[in-house]
Structure 1
């Protein structure tokens, strides 16, 4: 019999589900059921994937994060954090009460916060995918406790893959990164500037202002992500002359693997964006700006500079095949 696998993909944006979908194409020996929410759920439904019915009751964590992000900056407002926690607790309680992990031969989780908060015991045949091993600095008591909890939960998984661009914590296998989507089209260099917001609404207002100015300066633009959801965004990215992109993990992996010039906008106060963007600083064909402070004019000037440079992206290795092989060995 074919193994039954549950794949729990984080609903924060589209970066998790797009890399998970790529990995899942290499797990064709298993019958996969997905658990996620929000735009990640939309992405999978557009591809005809088998989705657990509980997905339709979960709250999107990508939407919930907008409670703590305002004007392209993380605010950490007490009310926003409370709303985020309530959505996490809601999802975790649903998972605890309605998800039967024993029905599956394998459980894969890509930063599966609801599963980790549910109190359910992770089975022996379990796999973790992550590109962070903490939520940033542990310089205060609260963050020390949060990061300690995250590490303890991550370590409950049998196979643990850290696919980060920069994080190299002990206790995880680090074979490389994970590319996104099933495959990449052959890159071209069309007369198009793609403004990539990823899978959240964090940069919607900034993107619209940037697009308006670039168009006024004679540049053709396309906004993808955020409110402009596309089931196959990589086709547009591959055709871009350059990108203006938020500093999410998968967006930057795509920029590297497709060798696209980019102006990278990091969300203020977002530790992961800070570290992701740092990998590109000082490299030809790339500029890093703060999303909450950069004006459209400053973005235009940075874009004008990178358009005259040959892109020199950081080295990125797609480890999907290697990870898939190790998962296969786990199930035998």
Structure 2
């Protein structure tokens, strides 16, 4: 690598695998546009595994990062996760990630650092401007927390977070050079952050560049479903994929899907049910009746979604987006108490007319079996969804890199 070549560092934060999959899509597109840019990564489990399997260069300091997925699992109460409660708990560990980045940037100069929901980095740069020795881009996919109960302490906590989020939004921030929003303006509630706080969409218009949706694959490559099924070893039987995200919080959903199988077989005798545990939930902890298949981490889960006749998933933004774009029938269960899934993602799906929403706490095995059987054989008519977000994001990052080239100084 020449001395004048540019370097970019991607920090893939947040919980699970949805963020890192879009981050890698952006990085690959940027690399296609600018082959001379060297890209390094900071990511904790399970995102580090995803990147390692993709052949990306992870810095050794990844081992020192806080595992946010572990913090989320610890904060969860069974299948329920208060996003605000998790955020307050995670704050106690934020200084560790900031210290890691400080060490990394002291040893290596970067022309661009991209953080995906790395709130700890953004806050540190805002509080201590001397730490900012690099152009910094922040990626968002939702704006502001929502109270999910009537509990006064939760509502006060939401207001505290949203006040910090929205404060001084009309002023140009010095700690962030660009903010990208993955999605569309309509994905943001047209409501205030809270009492005496600004409107969320006004904040997003002032602060963010909207890039649209990002997929880690080309939907056209999955258009021939019969070919995808043959390649993955599936036959012609009705196929149901039940999958959770990159944490162990979805255990109860997989257990419910397994218990629904006998009733589902009564309705659809030749149905094939495959449970996918993901990278952090051991297969051995799920008891399954005879006939149900169970798998661990599946790297290209979207291929199995493409092959499926129906799917059962949590309410994560990435899995539900993939199913929408692939035009597959699905039932989704937002993690209860998780305001992003229960509000932001659910409203996006309602706008797109995609998926059937259910609540884990109110669903019996028989109800799930009925819902799955109704999805089997359905032909979704979801509206087209723009999926060129990786290209648009990469173009914006390239423009920022171009402005930092030595010749431009």
CA distance in 1, matches of 2:160, 2:320: 30
**How does the TM-score come out when normalised to structure 1?**
0.88
Q: Partner of 1:69 in structure 2? A: 76
Q: Choose 1 or 2 for highest CA Rg.
A: 2
Q: Partner of 2:284 in structure 1? A: none
Q: Write the deviation string for residues 73-106 of structure 1: whole angstroms up to 9, x where unpaired.
A: 125797x776533333433343345543861001
- The SS at the match of 2:114 is strand
Q: Partner of 2:209 in structure 1? A: 173
**How does the TM-score come out when normalised to structure 2?**
0.72
Q: Which has the higher helix share?
A: 2
How far has the Cα of 1:201 moved from its partner? 1.1
CA distance in 1, matches of 2:364, 2:164: 39
CA distance in 1, matches of 2:165, 2:74: 21
- The SS at the match of 1:71 is coil
List gaps (5 residues or longer) in structure 2. 149-153, 189-200, 230-237, 266-270, 282-295, 403-409
Residues 1:296 and 2:361 are matched in the alignment? no
CA distance in 2, matches of 1:85, 1:125: 24
- The structure-2 alpha-carbon separation of the partners of 1:51 and 1:196, relative to structure 1 and needing over 3 Å to count, comes to same
- Contact preservation (8 Å) 2:136, 2:176: yes
- The structure-2 alpha-carbon separation of the partners of 1:217 and 1:115, relative to structure 1 and needing over 3 Å to count, comes to same
- The SS at the match of 2:22 is helix
- The SS at the match of 1:309 is coil
User: Aligned match of 2:25 in 12, 22, 42?
Assistant: 22
Q: Partner of 2:320 in structure 1? A: 252
The number of residue pairs the alignment matches comes to: 331
Q: Which stretch shifts more, 255-264 or 272-281?
A: 272-281
- Contact preservation (8 Å) 1:162, 1:173: yes
List gaps (5 residues or longer) in structure 1. none
- The SS at the match of 1:174 is strand
Residues 1:164 and 2:216 are matched in the alignment? no
How far has the Cα of 1:51 moved from its partner? 0.7
- The SS at the match of 2:358 is strand
User: Aligned match of 1:221 in 248, 254, 273?
Assistant: 273
Q: For 1:79-158, what aligned pairs fall within 5 Å after superposition?
A: 83-100=89-106, 103-119=109-125, 121-123=131-133, 125-136=135-146, 140-151=155-166, 155=173, 156-158=175-177
